[in-house]
Chains A and B, each alone.
Chain A
Amino acid sequence: MSADTNNHLPPDGDSPDDLQTLAGQYVLGTQDAAQRRAIEERLPHDPELRAAVDAWEQRLQPLTSLAPPQEPSPGLWLRITASLWPAAEPQRAAAGSAASSRWWHWNSLALWRGLAGSGFAAAAVLAGVLVLGDAAAPAPARYFVVLAAPQSQAPGWLVQAQAADRLRLVPLGSDVVPAEKSLQFWTKADGWNAPVSLGLVKPGEAIEVPVDKLPPLQPNQLFELTLEPAGGSPIGKPTGPIQFIGRAVQI
C-alpha cells in the first residue's frame, strides 16, 4: 500500500478489507462530516457495515477510560429533563386553589398527554378548548401559539393574544430551570432580521407582555423560549438552546 492510499468512501460492495477500514475510521472519527453522514445513512440497511462498526466500537471502547472524568454542572440534568419532559408533574397543583381551578384544564395531564402526541395539530383542538371551555376564561384570543419542546413536541406554554397591545404567556406545567439560567421569551415575524426579546419568564408563572411597540402580530409569527444566562442573553439575541417553540395561529 502506498503512502497515498486513497481515502474516498468506497461504494457498496467494498472488499471485506475496505469495509473494515471504513468502519474502523468511522469509529475512530477521522472522517469529515460528509463521509460520516454517508456512513450513518448506510448503516440502517447495510448489515455487514453495521456488524463491522459494532465490532470496532467494542474493540476501541476501553480507550474511553483515557479521558479524565469531568463533573457536570448541577444544572445539566435539569436541562435534560426539561427537554425530555417539559410539562412534567406540575408542582403548583396544590398551591392556591383559585389559580389552579381557573387553569385546571391546562394542568390536566390526560389532555396534554393526548395533545403531545399530535404536535402542532394540537392547535386546532386548543381552539375548541378556548372557545368552549371554562365560562370564567377570557374572551377567545385572536391569535394563539402552542409552544412545544423541539424534541418531544410536548406542549409547554401557551401564548394568547387577546388584545392588540399585549400578549399573555401561560405555563402548561412547571418547567425546571437551572439556578444560574433564565428562560427568555422571543418573537420573530417573517421578514424580521432577528428575534425581539419579550423579556424573562419564570417557570410556572403566567406573564403579560406589552407589545404596543411591536408591529401587529402576523399569522405564522415565531415565538420561542430559550435558556439563557441568568438575567437574559447578554447580546440581545438568543444564545442558548430552544426550550419551547411555536408559530402563531389565527382563530
Chain B
Amino acid sequence: MPPAASVTDDNFDHALALAACARGDRHALQRIYEQESRYLLGVAMRIVRSRAAAEDVLHDAFVAIWSKAHSFDAARGAARGWIYSIVRHAALNRVRSSARESTLDEPTAAAYEASAAMAAWQEEGDTLDRQAQLGRLGQCLEGLEPQRRECLLHAYVDGCSHSEIAARVQAPLGTVKAWIQRGLRALRECMQ
C-alpha cells in the first residue's frame, strides 16, 4: 500500500530533520516520528509479527536514530533509507536472537502468513502500478524466476530466515540458499 499523500508530506526533508536531531532539536525527532512512524511500524510488524514487539522495536529504533543522527552521512545513501534500515535491522536482530525459529515446525506456524509476501505482491495491483511504486527494482523483480522472487520477498518483507523460507516454499534449505544467492546476483546485474 503506497503512503497516502494526505497523511505524509512528500517534500519532507529527512536529511534536514536528522541534522537537526544531531544538533539536539527534539522537535525534529518528533517530526520524523509524525512523518514515518506508521510506515515504520508496518515494516517492523511484518518482521516481528506482534504489535507489542514491533512497538518495542520502534521505541529502540527511535532512541538509536536520536543518538546516531550525528553519524548519518548523506554520501552513503538517502536519509529516509537510513531511518528505515535502523528499524529493519532492529526488527531482524530481535527475531534472530529470539526463539521464533523453534516454533516454525508447527503446522499452524507454517500455514501462518504462508504466502504473505506473495499476497502483498499480488495485491499491489497490476504490473504498471507496481513498477511506478518500486521503480527499477519492480521491473527487475518481475524479471526473476518466480521462486527466486518469492524467496527474496519472504526474506526482506517478512523477515524470514533461510529455514523459514524453506518451510514456506517447501523446498530444501540448500536449494533456497542457492535461489537467494542467484536472485541477489541477478537483481544486482539488472539494476546496474
On A, residues with C-beta under 8 Å from B are 1-5, 7, 17, 20-21, 24-25, 27-33, 36, 50, 54, 57-73, 76-77, 79-81, 83-85, 151, 241
Contacts and interface: CB of A to CB of B under 8 A. Distances in A.
Contacts of A30: 155, 160-162, 165, 180
B157 A3 contact: no
A2 B174 CA distance: 9
B134 interface: yes
B144 interface: no
Contact of A33 (B3, B80, B96): B96
Contacts of A70: 38, 41-42, 45, 51, 54
Nearest to A52: B188
A24 B155 CA distance: 11
B188 A36 contact: no
A90 B54 CA distance: 30
Given A3-B174, A20-B188, A77-B30, A25 B180 contact: yes
15 contacts: A4-B178, A24-B184, A29-B92, A29-B155, A31-B161, A62-B133, A62-B135, A62-B138, A63-B156, A64-B84, A67-B120, A70-B42, A73-B55, A80-B59, A84-B62
Contacts, number: 165
Contacts of A54: 76-77
Interface string B2-37: 110000000000000000000000100110010001
Report the interface size class on chain B: 35 or more
B58 interface: yes
Nearest to B164: A30
Contacts of B62: 80, 84
Nearest to A57: B85
A12 to B, nearest CB: 20
Nearest to A20: B188
B77 A58 contact: yes
A63 B22 CA distance: 28
Interface of B: 1-3, 26, 29-30, 33, 37-39, 41-43, 45-47, 51, 54-56, 58-59, 62-63, 66-67, 76-78, 80-81, 84-85, 88-89, 92-93, 96-97, 117, 120-121, 124, 133-135, 137-138, 152-153, 155-157, 159-162, 165, 172, 174-175, 177-178, 180-182, 184-185, 187-188, 191
A66 B43 CA distance: 8
A68 B2 CA distance: 8
A28 B37 CA distance: 21
A2 B85 CA distance: 32
A44 to B, nearest CB: 10
Contacts of B88: 29, 64
Contacts of A65: 1-3, 39, 133-134
A74 to B, nearest CB: 11
B184 A21 contact: yes
A217 B39 CA distance: 47
Given A57-B85, A76-B55, A76-B58, A62 B26 contact: no
